[in-house]
Structure 1
Amino acid sequence: MGSELKYLAVLAITVAAFLHSTAAQETHIVGDEFGWIVPPGGHYAYELWASGHKFSVGDILEFKFTTGEQDVAKVTKEAFDSCNSTSPIELKTTGPANFSLNTIGEYYFIGTMDKRCELGQKLAINVTANSGGPSASPAPAPTARGPVTYIVGEQLGWFVPGQYAYSAWANGKTFIVGDTLVFNFINETQDVAVVTKAAFDNCTTNSTIAVYTDSPVYIVLNTTGEHYFTSTYDRHCELGQKLAINVIAKSTKTATSPSSPTTPSSQAPSAHSPAASAPLNSAAPSTIIGRGYFFTFLLVGMAFFH
């Protein structure tokens, strides 16, 4: 009788452990609804998708694509960086393709067809031992470095679609007083509007702090606080042309308290001269965006303007 009880106890513990392991396992659909494609926003799109997920040992990556139109290769970091698909670790050509995340560390995936990797069909993730949902990264510590000039969106420039690409672009960057944002766009197709958080959230652009219409636009970050940018062109904000950043520190040791929001001058500042955007007293902008529809909005934006 005693041995049977011990056997049952061991069996119960084993089953409980198995159920816990099974419950903790998560299948991540790469790109969510839109799957594995060449993203309109370039490699930023999958960077953002990955930033909204927590990958743990035992999880599964599922790449959804149409067989014959896409493929997915697991590669080394060197092959990922150079888009070299000649000797992949593993290549799958039938969709959907699943990869088990069996070890801690970094994983790299690319599309090997044509120049799809160079066009942004690439994904890098980091797998940890702990399971659980995504967590926001801690805010960077104040720095005493000199001013930095940031090209918003880098090679993407300032255009539609933009929300997810620009969130990924801003994620991980430290903005301090004295830094400069540069917005590059084609004149008479875009503009840059400095707005309040409420206007940013609701895409109401009939009351702006400042509007800049001539590219390139230089905006010097003269105060700590949250700064919000969008476009006044019809539906551009709704389709994602918006950027939120948080200026966390001054570049000198003689920091002062953030000033209150200011009213822009009635005379529009020159787009070719540095201009300050007003700080806003509100919660810091989130760096993690709801991930379920990011490809949908990217492609809707592209379709709308083409």
Structure 2
Amino acid sequence: MAKMCVAIAAVLAVTALLQTSAAQTVHVVGDSLGWLVPPGGPIAYETWVDLQTFVVGDVLVFNFTTGEQDVARVTKEAFNSCNSTNPIFLETTGPFNYTLDAAGEYYFIGTMDRHCYLGQKLAINVSASAGPTPSPQAPTPTPPRGPVTYIVGDALGWLVPPGGSIAYKTWAYGKTFLVGDVLVFNFANGTQDVAVVTEEAYDSCNTTTTIAVYATSPVKYTLAAVGEYFFTSTYSRHCNLGQKLAINVTASSSATPPSTTTTPTPSSNPSSSVTSPVAGGPSAPPPQSSAPARAVLGFSSTLLLIALAVVH
């Protein structure tokens, strides 16, 4: 009986180890941006964090050039004040991998010059396990408002951004785009243009076929219909280097995006002040596979049978 208990305990331990290994996720901090002073300040890393789920056992990868950046783990108080005088640890050699070994809050900053004050700081919350996905909350209605004019990229303008496409993702994050709003693309004539493209062309940076192209700055683009809009540039490699913007437009703050895709019709004579064609709706996400879970369960069952056979 004692041998059987030991065998079962061993199987359970192996199963837990396998599940932990399967659940581990590697998070590259900032994705293509890496770990540096981000364009636009700390919202760049705040935006990146909002797209992640951190669980015990996951790994953070800080990609940076040795001698130009560093990464320090600090307390919450030191994070808020950008005080790097007494860090929990300091790493000066990049790239650096950090394993999240406990649940709780983690705070990281760059200690060089004024890097932390300029936005090189990261705060995350780590859960003990992934757990079930919470049910989405019903959106809170927002009072009606008039059309808003958005300057794309603000002071950055419309160009190949430093750090890649996260610059325009950061700019769009948290903004509500409604029908009637206007996007203004500021750029130097002859060096950039604005191309309206499909989602497929946006994802692949294929600008051989476009919905419309506007080459005279500033381009004032009125969002005339509900749906998703995709913008990039037809200049060589500009899209691949991050000059691309995707937004979702709703009829009101509580509207539900469309579930079908329609092909927009470009205007016959594009000009610097334009009204948008009809944009397509979001595509459905791919189904999640349960194969890894079935594999772990099957392997654990096999180990249990072997253990019982050894005992007998």
TM-score, length of structure 1 as denominator length: 0.69
Task: Please name the residue that 2:217 is paired with.
Answer: 214
Sort the Cα spacing of 1:3 and 1:237 in 2 relative to 1 into closer, same or farther, 3 A.
closer
Task: Please name the residue that 1:231 is paired with.
Answer: 233
Task: Please name the residue that 2:109 is paired with.
Answer: 110
Task: Please name the residue that 1:261 is paired with.
Answer: 264
Q: How does 1:137-156 map to 2 (within 5 A)?
A: 143-146=142-145, 147-156=147-156
Note if 1:165 corresponds to 2:164: no
1:175 to 177, 188, 193: 177
Paired residues of 1:196 and 1:209 also in contact (CA < 8 A): no
Q: How does 1:28-177 map to 2 (within 5 A)?
A: 28-30=27-29, 36-38=35-37, 46=45, 50=49, 53-65=52-64, 67-76=66-75, 79-80=78-79, 83-95=82-94, 97-131=96-130, 143-146=142-145, 147-161=147-161, 162-177=164-179
Task: Please name the residue that 2:291 is paired with.
Answer: none
Q: Percent identity?
A: 56
> What is the distance in 2 between the residues matched to 1:101 and 1:180?
43
Deviations 1:134-179 (A, max 9, x none): 99x9996774431443332234321103533223433443322132
Sort the Cα spacing of 1:131 and 1:233 in 2 relative to 1 into closer, same or farther, 3 A.
same
Of the structure 1 ranges 38-47 and 177-186, higher mean CA displacement relative to structure 2 is found in 38-47
* Structure 1 residue 112 displacement after superposition: 0.9
Deviations 1:26-80 (A, max 9, x none): 4434356885444578656645654554311232324354554432112355654
Paired residues of 1:142 and 1:249 also in contact (CA < 8 A): no
Paired residues of 2:139 and 2:254 also in contact (CA < 8 A): no
> What is the distance in 2 between the residues matched to 1:170 and 1:4?
61
Amino acid at match of 1:242: K
Q: Unaligned regions of 5+ residues in structure 1, if any?
A: 287-306
How many residue pairs match? The answer is: 274
Q: Unaligned regions of 5+ residues in structure 2, if any?
A: 286-312
Note if 1:17 corresponds to 2:12: no
Sort the Cα spacing of 1:7 and 1:163 in 2 relative to 1 into closer, same or farther, 3 A.
closer
Paired residues of 1:210 and 1:264 also in contact (CA < 8 A): no
> What is the distance in 2 between the residues matched to 1:190 and 1:214?
9
**SS at the partner of 2:12?**
helix
> What is the distance in 2 between the residues matched to 1:151 and 1:82?
31
Task: Please name the residue that 2:2 is paired with.
Answer: 3
**SS at the partner of 2:3?**
helix
> What is the distance in 2 between the residues matched to 1:184 and 1:80?
35
> What is the distance in 2 between the residues matched to 1:144 and 1:156?
30
Amino acid at match of 1:99: Y
Sort the Cα spacing of 1:193 and 1:29 in 2 relative to 1 into closer, same or farther, 3 A.
closer
CA RMSD, 1 decimal? 4.0
| Higher gyration radius (CA) | 2
Note if 1:250 corresponds to 2:252: yes
* Structure 1 residue 105 displacement after superposition: 4.4
* Structure 1 residue 113 displacement after superposition: 0.9
Task: Please name the residue that 1:293 is paired with.
Answer: none
Amino acid at match of 1:150: Y
Sort the Cα spacing of 1:242 and 1:15 in 2 relative to 1 into closer, same or farther, 3 A.
closer
Amino acid at match of 1:269: S
Paired residues of 2:43 and 2:119 also in contact (CA < 8 A): yes
Amino acid at match of 1:21: T
> What is the distance in 2 between the residues matched to 1:285 and 1:139?
20
> What is the distance in 1 between the residues matched to 2:276 and 2:120?
35
